[in-house]
Amino acid sequence: MFGHTAISSSHKREGFTLIEVVVASAVMMVMFVAILGTISTARRISSITENRLACMHMARETLETMTRRGYDSSDFDVGKKYFPNNRGYCNITQVSGQRTKDVEVVINWIEPSGVPQSISLKSSYSRSLHR
């Protein structure tokens, strides 16, 4: 009789629901925070390593300079000598009963986070080897 059009009871769903968008946003936020945390930690560790290597280089350079100048130079006078700007010190002690001096070089620095750090190198010099 009358023309009826069959209406389908199942509707095709297009797009995302609000809950799916919120869940996807939360997952992306967690991933973003984890990545930023990893990058921040890597930068901090890199800074610490870079500072440590630079100070190690300064301490080695100090010991090498003393070696070039010789055992009898004023650089080998017993005592503690401070570096400029409170960067550290060089402590020279005479080994009792021997013609040897122990030299300790300490370099100080402060990390960007405000934590004070230091590195120490020791060496021994004898009159017979370091003229």
Question: What's the pLDDT tens digit per position in 39-77?
Answer: 999 998 998 899 899 999 999 998 888 888 877 788 788
Report d(CA 9, CA 24) in Å as an integer: 29
Q: Say what percent of the chain tops pLDDT 70.
A: 88
Task: Flag whether the pTM goes above 0.85.
Answer: no
Contact 57, 116 (CB under 8 A): no
